[in-house]
Amino acid sequence: MPEAVPQTHELYEEIRAVVGAEHVTVEEFARRAYTRAPFYAVGGGGRGKIPGIVVRPGTTEEVAAVVKLANRTKTPIVPKGGGGSVSTFPPLYVGDQSNILVDTHRLNRILDIDTTYMTVTAQSGVILSQLAEEVSKHGFHTYTVDVPIHMDTVGGVLSGFLGGGEPSDMATSGTMNNYLLGLKVVLPTGDIVQTGGGPGTNIHQPRFLHREAGSSDMTGMFVGDGGSFGIKTEATFSIHPYPKVFMLGITDMGSRENMWDAFRELAATDPYPYTRLLGFHQQDGPWYFVHVIRAHTPEEGELKKNILEKICHKHGGQPATVGREILQIANMFSARRLGQQALPMGSTMTYFGEALIPMPQSLEYLDDINALLDETVGDLDIYKRIDFVVPYLRATTITGILLYFGKGTTRDEASQRLHEKALGGMERLFTEKYGGWTETHQGTSLAHSASVWAPSYKNFMRTIKKALDPNDIMMPGLWRI
Amino acid sequence: MEATNLALVKENVTKCMGCGICRGVWERKDVAMCPVWATGVGFEDSSPRGRVTVAQDILDSHISYSSPLADSVFRCTDCGCCATTCDAMDPNTLEPIVNVPQIVRAMRMDLVENSLVPPLVRDYMKAVHINGNPYKQPQDARGNWAKGSEVPLYSGQEYLFYVGDVGSYDERGQKMARSVAKLLMTGGVSLGILGSEEYSDGNDTMVMGESGLFQYLAEANIAAFKKHSIKKIISLDPHSYNAFANHYDQWGAGFQIQHYSEVLAELLSTGRLSPGRLGIKATYHDPCYLGRHNEIYEAPRKVLGAVPGLKLVEMPRMRKSAFCCGGGGGNFFTDLIGGGECSPNRVRIREALDTGAEVVAVACPLCAKMLEDALKAESLDDRIAVKDISEILLDSFA
């Protein structure tokens, strides 16, 4: 039987007075709807703690009022963005049954697009695809995460995934947090703070130009904080002229050695000859590169293409003539279908072991997770597995396996087995062999990062947390600090 | 509490990845496409992903159906956006593996069977059950819209012109029914109506989970069609079209169904209708039951494209990505979503206005009414008009 879940909350009336009855609920079915992590079947695990109450504030001031109530009563708060967390553990393991879940869905306005100073200011509940779309209408682009672009929010992404993510179509140019200029944050005490070199920090400066210009880089302190240092309500980013030229290509690199030699050289080339690069390999098949080049002029595009082709050719690469299936797989990182197009009806897929790995260890890691996969879920009906490596800036890769289960394995079975048997092994692999440097979303790095922090660093984090959140209400227990 | 209907679609429920793309459309890279989620009414449970999670929790006996949950479930407009955008899609059939509208319909059936429907839904069902229409109007008045026109009762003509509830009883729908009938007859189409022998098509009844009432209405209609040996039907309302095309077969319907936009397009392409010049800029709103549910995108556009001088400017969200007006799934009658600033019809009319069009063309009486209501709420009456494609065509003749 499920655990008994309370149907009332001690702060219900006061929160209702702040946001209005239609924006707060204690209904169990509504609270349970927030406990899912994507990529795991609803019945197969990956469910988080059920909040005691859900609130949807519409303004920074409403967020602050709710946080003050929580602080007064020492009630745990869990901020929630788009619910795009794809790691094993949803962020909702923190706190207890009294948790106030702050859903930022109503903080969904883009407040300002300034093409002179080249900035955009958006509320934290804005979906990244919306941000990209609105900025592009002005001839600019902003750096956002890639695949979950349609579901992740500004606030969620800045709070997790090491503070940023893989930019959409602009992977070589940096992560989102590098282009963050300032934040408006509701601190755990309910105070509102504006960071960055702009109004609220430097009263003579009307615009954010550099986030460190007004003071120490307080903005950075809130990046990747998992929401534990405060609730972000607004963010200002720099924006950049949109590169209109788009070129796509696929190269057959043959062996793994060829692919890896070319991969390393491409990632070390400055400026990058590609905008996106994905290396992938289907069992018993050759390694392929799929690349995207974006440029401001056709000449720039051609130049990049020539450099890229020359490097690939030097290491044995040939322009690939591929069928529909390979093209579909190649789309897995740029298409909304996440590779599902290659599935037979009734099949299901998931990522396995996808992690941010230091480049020198990437292939070893790939071998490790393949072995782990064989040991733990190898007996399931695995229809197809695809190894992939993507450069993440210069020195790291996003490495993992795209796993397709055939009709003999339901999604429920697959995710349950992965959850019960494989994830523990992954956990040990991440922390014990690779130092816990893994891809983690939305502050879910409890097990991955904190366990490998040096004692002095952990103390430092604990001191910051204590100073900002004396009652330990914001994501209490995150990182075990 | 029983969840027998939901249990039948369990496999559908468990295949959901929970990715959340069902809330929006990648190609447009814009705000949510799910009209309920976009409205901001309700919480995560009112998003397609949340609905699947709730369904799983019911199947796992973590929660039971309740009245507040019923309010959430009945807000869905059955627009089909989530099913169109679902990431888990079969490449050969292009059918989504996770069909949220199907899950929602199963939950609604359970709610009906457990007597947990919201009062507004109950009132709708009751009105249809007692009166044969949701307007609580007499059955005898069903054909009154045609009085004074030359539209005859059916007596062996080639086509039955099936008008539906909104076309029969709603003033806006009646106007549309008259203009469509006039054009069809001008084009030489031999047609008649059933008048008081026509019954509600039952589409929205079915979508709201009252399968028994739907079967009753479907069988009543089929009996009437058979009595008159009707083989070909032209529907005014895409909701009727959807019921006839996709659901009546199980009771031996045996007739051919076309939406009037398809017939008008044919009349125009064969020269049986020759529109005059009309120098206007128009945009077209795809009705969900015509577009996403039945993939009729071209015919209405062909009608508009045949009018000399008419410039069609598309809204960014169109065809399978079109944004629902909010009137589907029974919400036209129950209004569980409400008419706030972010309500789907108001969002949609603002999108139409952004195109610079003077006219929003529609091909559904419910969409026409929803968007006209939005015009009033947004005080845009003097900037943009809502017209059915048949009304635009008639304007060109004038």
Domains of chain B: 4-117 (no CATH), 132-265 (3.40.50), 273-397 (3.40.50.10700)
User: Model-level pTM?
Assistant: 0.88
Please give the residue of chain B at the shortest CA–CA distance from A46.
Answer: B18
Confidence of residue A338 (pLDDT cuts 50, 70, 90): very low
CA angle B149, B155, B161 (to 5 degrees): 55
Distance from CA of B384 to the nearest CA of A (A): 24
Of A171-185, B208-222, B314-328, B367-381, give the lowest mean pLDDT range: A171-185
CATH number for the domain spanning A115: value is 3.30.465.10
Q: Do A127 and B87 touch (CB under 8 A)?
A: no
Q: Which residues of B touch A410 (CB under 8 A)?
A: 11, 14-15
Q: What is the pLDDT of residues A396-421, one digit of tens each?
A: 888 888 877 766 666 667 767 777 77
Count Cα neighbours of A314 within 13 Å in the Cβ-side half-sphere: 13
* Rounded average pLDDT over A33-61: 77
DSSP state of B193: B
Q: Given B29, B44, B89, which is nearest A133 (Cβ)?
A: B29
What is the DSSP annotation of A330-382? HGGGTSTTTTGGGPPTT-EEEEEEEEEEEGGGHHHHHHHHHHHHHHHHTTS-E
The structure tokens 């020269």 sit at B271
Q: Looking at A373-377, B161-165, B253-257, which range is the least confident one?
A: A373-377
pLDDT higher at A44 or B156: B156
Read off the pLDDT band of A446 (50, 70, 90).
very low
Which of B43, B104, B110, B341 to mutate: most A Cβ within 10 Å? B43
CA distance A396 to A398: 7
Mean pLDDT value of segment A380-385: 79
Whole-number Å distance between alpha carbons of A180 and B218: 59
Length reported for chain B:
398
Q: Is residue A251 part of a domain?
A: no
A with B: how many residue pairs have Cβ under 8 Å apart? 160
Closest chain A CA to residue B68: A27
Neighbours of A164 (CB within 10 A): 21
Interface of A with B in 399-458 (CB under 8 A): 410-412
8 A C-beta contact, residue A279 and residue A320: no
Q: Of A222, A241, A260, which closes a domain?
A: A241
Return the pLDDT at A465: 94
Query: Could you tell me if A343 and A404 are in contact, meaning their C-beta atoms sit under 8 angstroms apart?
Result: yes
Q: Rg of chain B over CA atoms, in angstroms?
A: 20
CA distance B326 to B51: 18
Residue A114 domain flag? yes
Rounded average pLDDT over A188-211: 87
Alpha-carbon distance A415 to nearest alpha carbon in chain B (angstroms): 10
Neighbour order of strands in the sheet with A110-114: A110-114, A119-123, A231-238, A180-186, A192-194
Lowest mean pLDDT among A231-245, A394-408, B267-281: A394-408
The answer to whether residue A90 is domain-embedded is: no
pLDDT range class, residue A172, cuts 50, 70, 90:
very low
Assess whether pLDDT exceeds 80 at residue B198.
yes
pLDDT over 70 percentage in chain A: 78
Contact A40 B18 (CB under 8 A): yes
Q: What is the pLDDT of residue A85?
A: 63
Judge whether residue A381 has pLDDT over 90: no
The total of other beta-carbon atoms located within 10 Å of residue A300's CB is 15
Phi, psi of B192 (to 5 degrees): -150, 165
* Minimum-distance CB partner of B43 among A33, A44, A350: A33
Confidence of residue B137 (pLDDT cuts 50, 70, 90): very high
Q: Mark yes or no for CB contact A345/B29 under 8 Å.
A: no
Q: What is the pLDDT of residue B292?
A: 92
Which of A83, A106, A345 shows the shortest C-beta gap to B20?
A83
Q: How far apart are CA B59 and CA B49, in angstroms?
A: 16
CA B229, B234, B236, B237 dihedral sign is positive
Q: Is the pLDDT of residue A219 over 80?
A: yes
Q: Which of A1, A56, A130 lies closest to B31 in CB terms? A: A130
Of A55-59, A174-178, B53-57, which has the strongest mean pLDDT? A55-59
Split at pLDDT 50, 70, 90, the class of A347 is: low
Query: What six digits make up the tokens of A210?
Result: 């550099």
A132 inside 8 A of chain B by CB: yes
pLDDT digits (tens, 9 = 90+) for B41-81: 889 999 998 999 999 899 989 999 999 999 999 999 999 98
Contacts (Cβ under 8 Å, ≥6 apart) of B328? B77, B78, B79, B207, B239, B288, B289, B366
The pLDDT score that the predictor gives to residue B23 is 80
Is the previous residue joined to A271 through a cis bond, with omega within 30 degrees of 0?
yes
Closest CA to B260 of B303, B322, B205: B303
Q: What share of chain B is helix, strand, coil (3-state, %, to 5)?
A: 50, 10, 40
Contacts of B66 in chain A (CB under 8 A): 27, 29
Answer yes or no: is A430 within a domain: yes
Mark yes or no for CB contact A148/B72 under 8 Å.
no
Please report which confidence band the pLDDT of residue A244 belongs to, taking 50, 70 and 90 as the band edges: confident
- Mean pLDDT is highest, among A206-220, A434-448, A464-478, B160-174, for B160-174
Cβ separation A32–B68 shorter than 8 A = no
Q: How many domains does chain A have?
A: 2
Does residue B25 carry a pLDDT above 60? no
- The backbone region for A229, taken as left when phi is positive above 0, alpha when psi lies in -120 to 50, beta otherwise, is alpha
On whether both A235 and A347 belong to a single domain, the answer is: no
Q: What percent of chain B has pLDDT over 70?
A: 95
Q: Which of A214, A241, A268 is the last residue of a domain?
A: A241
B396: CB partners within 8 A, 6+ apart: B275, B276, B277, B278, B307, B308, B310
Determine the structural domain holding residue A145 and report its residue range.
107-241
A357's tokens: 């790995």
In whole angstroms, give the CA distance from residue A389 to residue A387.
7
Nearest chain B residue to A415 by CA distance is B17
pLDDT at residue B95, as a whole number: 65
By C-alpha distance, the chain B residue nearest A129 is B29
Distances from the Cα of A154 to the Cα of A231, B20, B38, B301, angstroms: 12, 16, 17, 38
Encode pLDDT of B201-219 as tens digits. Answer: 999 999 999 999 999 999 9
A170 is a domain residue: yes
Specify the CATH number for the domain of residue A432.
3.30.300
Mutate one of A1, A150, A403 to test the B interface: name it (highest B CB count within 10 A).
A150
The 3-state DSSP composition of chain A as helix, strand, coil percent (nearest 5) reads 35, 25, 40
- The CA–CA distances, whole Å, from A259 to A252, A253, A265 equal 9, 5, 10
Phi, psi dihedral angles at A460 (to 5 degrees): -60, -45
Query: What's the start-to-end Cα distance of chain B, in Å?
Result: 60
Q: Which residues make beta-bridge pairs with A343? A: none
Alpha helices for B170-278 (secondary structure H)? 171-186, 203-207, 211-227, 238-246, 260-269
Note the ipTM here: 0.89
Q: Which of A39, A106, A337 sits opposite B18 (nearest CB)?
A: A39
Better-predicted residue by pLDDT, A284 or B375: B375
Angle between helices B260-269 and B389-397 in degrees, nearest 10: 30
Whole-number pLDDT of residue A479: 73
Domain closes at, from A241, A270, A290: A241
- Measured CA to CA, the distance from residue A226 to residue A188 in angstroms comes to 13
pLDDT of residue A121: 96
**What's the burial of A86, exposed, middle or buried (CB within 10 Å: 0-12/13-18/19+)?**
buried
**Domain match, A237 and A114 both:** yes
Angle value at C-alpha B121, between B117 and B125, nearest 5 degrees = 105
A199: left (phi over 0), alpha (psi -120 to 50) or beta: beta
Per DSSP, which regions of B94-178 are E strands?
159-162
Record: contact A29-B90, CB cut-off 8 A: no
**Which of A29, A37, A150 is the closest to B24 by Cβ?**
A150
A117 close to A209: Cβ distance less than 8 angstroms? yes
Residues 80-109 of A with CB under 8 A from B: 82-84, 103, 105-106, 108
In the predicted model, is pLDDT for residue B32 greater than 80?
no
> What pLDDT shows up at residue B274?
94
Question: The sheet that has B281-284: what strands, in order across it?
Answer: B311-312, B281-284, B359-362, B385-388
B18 or B135, which is more confident: B135
